[in-house]
Structure 1
Amino acid sequence: MTPPAHPRSRPGLSPGPRHEDQRRTFPALDPLAGDEPAATWWGNAWVEALEDTALDPARLVRGRAYAATGHVAAITVTPGRVMAYVQGSRARPYRTEIRLRTLTDDDWDDFLSAAAARPEHIAALLDKDVPHALASAADLLPTPGDLIPDCSCPDDGYPCKHAAALCYQTARLLDEDPFVLFLMRGRGERDILCDLSSRNATRAAAEHSATASCAPLPSVSAKDAVARRAKLPLLPPPFPVPPRPGRPPAYPDAPGAPDPLALDLLASEAAARAHALLATGHDPVAVLTPWQDAVRLAAAHPGSGLTASTRALYRDLAAATDRSPTELARAVAAWRQGGPAALTVLEEPWDPPAGPFDRARPALAAADFPGFRPWRNHLSARSLQLRLGRDGLWYGYESDPDREDWWPRGTPDTDPVRALAALLGR
């Protein structure tokens, strides 16, 4: 029979599902087309988890046919559950569910700690991508036996064709937005991003306190300063230049008030340029290209694009410089690693002369770091890389094994062994 029609604003996913942090409802998808029900590796992992436990392959074939002919209505996702009404052979559709366990607080802590520790993981999540290493940090993806189908139909198959159809259509939701999978496991998108933003701010504060000087500043007591005497005491020397610019306060978003993000940018700009003038006597912004200046602006905000305002900042800066948000996030990581010199190392391979580069591989092998392959100024292993800058410093990079998705990490050093040890936290 012909399934009931469902209104859609465009083919595929609707751009505006009803979105609450613990409940998301997606209008009915267009019928499944093509041979593969999912396009991403995590979407296929979802399908395989159910198919590998299916007792009757014929029911899977019928379920895919149901998905291909639009029998699955709106899909609602809540922690531990996916539900939809699926049209069968009778007039009244069946209520169909797929249940799976939610992650524990410890599991989520492992996942969020792994995400916050590496900027490339955060950038991947914001781009609706799931790195393999991050997914395995907390057993995020289902395995055979994790998915439990249930349906109001009289068919006692495991799964029935209605549950199989729901599974195939759900995989398409996961393709578009992996935060749907996170919600199934117990945490909504807003909750995850707020937690990551908090962890990022905590890491930034810890790094600041570790480098800030605790030595008392020289001073003159108020009593001595106002005492009547022929010769006033000498004024104390100027305060030392702080290790980094200060952060402005949080500006409220009030009706009629200036845009908080614009105020924050202006205050951050003033602090950064004043710090540069104090430390060096000149303004470094004047010599930057538009792309370098965009990276510098984004790097001044430690949220890494996690809050609504910094996501908008990253999006606007990337669009203005004809780059993607991921390219901007990678460049920000390089800028925080070593400023303009580190950004040049990220973007400009070069052929170093014989000398330090040729001696680096034997030095690494002698320190039990063999297996680095040379290419121009790069030395690469499966998940670690060192790049020699024109300034004579070695810059560390890290990637998921065999992915060739390199992100700046660690502290630059003139010694490749020390740079690699800093990258590994030794």
Structure 2
Amino acid sequence: MNSEYEDERTFAALPPAHGRGFAQSWWGLTWLKALEDTALDTQQLKQGRKYARQGAVGAVSVRPGRITAVVRDRDGTPHRADVLLQQLGAESWDRLLDVVSGEAGHLAALLDRDMPPRLVEDAAGAGVELLPGIGDLDPECGCEAWDHCLHTTALCYQMARLLDQDPFVLLLLRGRGERALLDELQTRSAARGARESAESEGASAGSGSYADGTAAGEGPAGVDAEEAYALGAILPSPPGPPALVEFPGDGPVLDSGAAPPEELDVEALKFLVAATAVQAQRALAEALAPGHADSSLPEPLGTAQDTVRLAAAHPGPRVGERLTAAGGRTSAELEPAVRAWEFGGAEALAVLEEAWSPEPDALARVSDQLAALWPEEEGRAESGRVLRADGNRWTVAGSGVQLRYGRDGRWWPYRRERGRWWPAGPAEPDPGAALATVLSEG
């Protein structure tokens, strides 16, 4: 973009659009539909689209009610092309600003360069049509064509690319620049917040007056800044943390009575909603636990780990099959992975699936811990409990029992079942405790 002013924005010529559509956003596609439904000559549409695709449209100037660009013919002849769109009147802008400021999600979406359908629907409900319809795009061109020519058509296709990137361009075309629009929205949001606060205070103090005794209609008298600062020590404390939620909430009812789209797996969606509720409840409990503020953030889960986490929630067979396929494991491999997750989450899963060798210093300490399990060498031999080492894994010979040493220094008990090693319990700081867990089960 070369320049930006309050009432005009000029965008540098865009590169040719080889191999891509002119619009991906729904509002950009709606803009093109208004053009294509209006133009009478489909051949001009095709030629204009070709011109735009080849980069024949120069810098585009956008200002209230009009977009302008120079479009060059194949022989280089320049033509000034303009497309006009009616600006919104003062009353329409007033209603539109009320719609946007009335819901935080609308403004957040615009700031994220998005225009959700609900915003446009809410605006239409207030009598404001944001997007153009049939006949709303009025062409003017130096080639003196009376309808949309290939030059104004090329300009419209190029405009769709600009709208895709920034819906504020459409609002400027309708009459308001981004800066003025945001300033007005901020003013309205502040006024709305003050009004709601005053109404709340008035309601708590009884009809006819505010909480400070000011008569309704006069507005709160306010407090001097120095006085407010001096009162800081006796003002109410800020609200504390939220209360622990004992049970995860129920998901929404998804049965609307209408048949779902073929591509929507309702069973999978219900499962994901329920699993998310459980995860949210667990995350809140962790956040409220002592020392949480000083703890480090966990590493984000990869797809293979996350499928195990979801499978540990025991979904139905169809969802289970999808998780198995997505995680890159067979069903036989997923079973012990799920059991590991149930014993210790991502750390337990890593112990199941990763083989590694401790550093020499760590190995010496580990060996001392294991030697303490049977202090007498002859007693160890008599019991038949000989430990065979393989990296971070120590197997009790002839018993189908194994200890695995985690990277965090904890010990995990394992048992051999159906020809595969399975987690047999949670981690223990002491190898003897971990071994006792698995031996007692035997």
How does the TM-score come out when normalised to structure 2? 0.48
2:171 to 174, 182, 185: 182
What is the aligned partner in structure 2 of residue 332 from structure 1?
Answer: none
Contact 1:350 1:377 in 2 (8 A): no
Q: Which moved more, 1:83-92 or 1:189-198?
A: 83-92
Distance, in Å, in 2 between the alignment partners of 1:49 and 1:42 is: 11
Counterpart secondary structure, 1:22: coil
Q: Deviations over 1:4-31 (max 9, x none)?
A: xxxxxxxxxx4xx311111111111111
1:132 to 98, 111, 117: 117
Q: How many residues align?
A: 242
2:86 to 83, 86, 101: 101
Q: Deviations over 1:379-412 (max 9, x none)?
A: 9xxxxxxx9xx99xxxxxxxxxxxxxxxxxxxxx
How far residue 155 of structure 1 moved from its aligned partner, in angstroms, is 4.4
Q: Deviations over 1:204-258 (max 9, x none)?
A: 11122123353568xxxxxxxxxxxxxxxxxxxxxxxxxxxx9998xxxxxxxxx
What is the aligned partner in structure 1 of residue 248 from structure 2?
Answer: 351
How far residue 340 of structure 1 moved from its aligned partner, in angstroms, is 4.6
Would you identify which runs of 4 or more consecutive aligned residues in structure 1 move more than 4 Å? 246-249, 373-379
Distance, in Å, in 1 between the alignment partners of 2:161 and 2:76 is: 26
Counterpart secondary structure, 1:75: strand
Give the counterpart letter for 1:18 in structure 2.
S
What is the aligned partner in structure 2 of residue 206 from structure 1?
Answer: 195
What is the aligned partner in structure 2 of residue 22 from structure 1?
Answer: 7
Counterpart secondary structure, 1:65: helix
Give the counterpart letter for 1:147 in structure 2.
L
Distance, in Å, in 2 between the alignment partners of 1:45 and 1:26 is: 21
Structure 2 CA distance for partners of 1:377 and 1:66, relative to 1, 3 Å: closer
How far residue 132 of structure 1 moved from its aligned partner, in angstroms, is 1.3
1:119 to 104, 127, 131: 104
How far residue 279 of structure 1 moved from its aligned partner, in angstroms, is 2.4
Counterpart secondary structure, 2:27: helix
Q: Deviations over 1:143-181 (max 9, x none)?
A: 01100111111545x311111110010111111111110
How far residue 376 of structure 1 moved from its aligned partner, in angstroms, is 4.3
1:279 to 226, 236, 239: 236
Structure 2 CA distance for partners of 1:171 and 1:377, relative to 1, 3 Å: same
Alignment of 1:285-324 (within 5 A): none
What is the aligned partner in structure 1 of residue 380 from structure 2?
Answer: none
| Larger RCO, structures 1/2 (Cα 8 Å, 6+ apart) | 1
Contact 1:350 1:376 in 2 (8 A): no
Counterpart secondary structure, 1:97: strand
| CA RMSD between the two structures | 3.7
What is the aligned partner in structure 2 of residue 37 from structure 1?
Answer: 22
2:132 to 133, 138, 142: 142
How far residue 378 of structure 1 moved from its aligned partner, in angstroms, is 10
Distance, in Å, in 1 between the alignment partners of 2:211 and 2:88 is: 46
Give the counterpart letter for 2:193 in structure 1.
A
How does the TM-score come out when normalised to structure 1? 0.50
Q: Deviations over 1:52-74 (max 9, x none)?
A: 11111111111111111111011
In terms of Rg, which structure is larger? 2
Distance, in Å, in 2 between the alignment partners of 1:130 and 1:99 is: 21
1:341 to 242, 265, 271: 242
Structure 2 CA distance for partners of 1:27 and 1:209, relative to 1, 3 Å: same
Contact 1:351 1:377 in 2 (8 A): no
Distance, in Å, in 2 between the alignment partners of 1:204 and 1:248 is: 20
Verify: 1:161 aligned to 2:118, yes or no. no
How far residue 92 of structure 1 moved from its aligned partner, in angstroms, is 3.3
Give the counterpart letter for 1:211 in structure 2.
S
Give the counterpart letter for 1:99 in structure 2.
L
Contact 1:32 1:169 in 2 (8 A): no
Q: Percent same amino acid among aligned pairs?
A: 41
Give the counterpart letter for 2:242 in structure 1.
A
Structure 1: gaps spanning 5 or more residues: 1-13, 218-245, 250-266, 285-338, 362-372, 380-386, 392-426
Alignment of 1:224-303 (within 5 A): 274=232, 278-280=235-237
Distance, in Å, in 1 between the alignment partners of 2:274 and 2:224 is: 42
Counterpart secondary structure, 1:187: coil
How far residue 377 of structure 1 moved from its aligned partner, in angstroms, is 10
Give the counterpart letter for 1:101 in structure 2.
Q
Contact 1:179 1:188 in 2 (8 A): yes
Structure 2 CA distance for partners of 1:201 and 1:76, relative to 1, 3 Å: same
Distance, in Å, in 2 between the alignment partners of 1:173 and 1:141 is: 14
Structure 2: gaps spanning 5 or more residues: 214-221, 254-269, 286-442
